[in-house]
Structure 1
């Protein structure tokens, strides 16, 4: 049992730090639980507990910094949760390997876009108001990536940050805050389901959650200081890890 804590907690700390800056922390934390020998359903459920604890802290830190607009965030969360339910139903009718094949095109293309576009994720000042077109596009993205989250899930936060800045043209600080709100809402929603089905290892999840809190808090502070300069390389690394994982899943 001690081995589980020694394997999971440091990696969950790292996941929280990365997640607060560029999303994609689940690509580190979930494999950590599996590496520790936790059965899959318990690994996912316990990961939701520690992730929700850490994401709560980074969300509060982003809100305190003025990166969250409540109206935009509330509608985005609703759209994401609705999309997630649609995605979960869609998953019942489409083979998982088909989605993996699609990701083999999307992931390297996205990473290449970030590598070649020096202006990607540049951080302008947060605007005083969000235009109607930005608002509508943000809801459409939240719905679409919510559906992705329900269908498959990994990397949702990273894709949200990229599309909210690149397509909805939100300032990166506002995009990051909105992403945190959506991540928190979907994490808590999923956690409730796992708790109701007794698929959460409470002690491990709570202790790992403390490490996640510290990682998210330091990551949020680091992000506020360095902004897009640190977000861009971390997102590229996360995308490459995600690509490797997708290839591994297909080969395996």
Structure 2
């Protein structure tokens, strides 16, 4: 019970962040490990709770027409393919080199967001361009998620708005739907292997639902004024995680 008093507020906050910008797993997974859960149980519990929070956020974005179904469907299909390949790579290669790449990439992305005056504004793209880039985005980010993982939702949001031309709010909603699909697929594996501690997972899932609802509601109400700062916050956490992981 004492663990839940500590975990539940953190899970709610992580889900709140995730519903706005993605990357909440950087907060929640760290919390599960910090309270002493075994790695596999931590991963399983994290997927159970995050799937619940992401489901609520996805429903909210869908209800407000802030999801590009074309981009979402294409990215989901190819993210499954990429995730399988990324997981295979993870069994054969260490993520050390990716850490070095992210040390330079993450600050560059943060500068791009801060210095680009029209960041997050919708831009016209041909349907063919959107489909092809959606395929590529799903494949590459699926590989990243399977191989390394942290910040996948935030990267999806960034690519959907900067490359595919979605406005920032619709990019957030679309990224949540894509994340939901990958979360459910991973959750099925964890359920099959029986590594989820439901005495912890269920209260945390309820906390994630609250966080997901509040986060998506805030994003839908305030828009880019809250999404952009939260994305920069997630980038800062990701950079810290990568740097710490190098030592």
Task: Determine the structure 2 residue equivalent to 1:157.
Answer: 153
- Could you tell me the TM-score, scaled by structure 1's length? 0.93
Task: Determine the structure 1 residue equivalent to 2:199.
Answer: 203
Q: Is the 8 A contact 1:16 1:25 kept in 2?
A: yes
Task: Determine the structure 2 residue equivalent to 1:187.
Answer: 183
**2: CA distance, partners of 1:36 / 1:18:** 21
**CA deviation map 1:2-25 (0-9, x unaligned):** 121012100010011111111110
More moved, 175-184 vs 157-166? 175-184
Task: Determine the structure 2 residue equivalent to 1:133.
Answer: 129
Task: Determine the structure 1 residue equivalent to 2:232.
Answer: 236
Q: Is the 8 A contact 1:4 1:37 kept in 2?
A: no
SS of 1:51's partner is helix
Kindly tell me: are residues 202 and 208 of structure 1, through their superposed partners in 2, closer, same or farther at Cα, counting changes over 3 Å? same
- Could you tell me the TM-score, scaled by structure 2's length? 0.95
Task: Determine the structure 1 residue equivalent to 2:170.
Answer: 174
Q: How far is the alpha carbon of 1:95 from its aligned partner?
A: 2.0
Q: How far is the alpha carbon of 1:245 from its aligned partner?
A: 0.8
Query: 1:41-120 to 2 correspondence within 5 Å?
Result: 41-120=40-119
- Which contiguous aligned blocks of 4+ residues in structure 1 show a shift greater than 3 angstroms? 69-72
More moved, 15-24 vs 70-79? 70-79
**RMSD over aligned Cα, in angstroms?**
1.6
**CA deviation map 1:177-206 (0-9, x unaligned):** 221111101111111111111111112111
Structure 1 portions without partners, runs of 5+: none
Task: Determine the structure 1 residue equivalent to 2:24.
Answer: 25
Structure 2 portions without partners, runs of 5+: none
Task: Determine the structure 1 residue equivalent to 2:243.
Answer: 247
Q: How far is the alpha carbon of 1:71 from its aligned partner?
A: 4.1
Q: Is the 8 A contact 1:76 1:178 kept in 2?
A: no
1:7 aligns with 2:3: no
Q: Is the 8 A contact 1:15 1:215 kept in 2?
A: yes
Matched residues, number:
247
Task: Determine the structure 1 residue equivalent to 2:210.
Answer: 214
More moved, 71-80 vs 28-37? 71-80
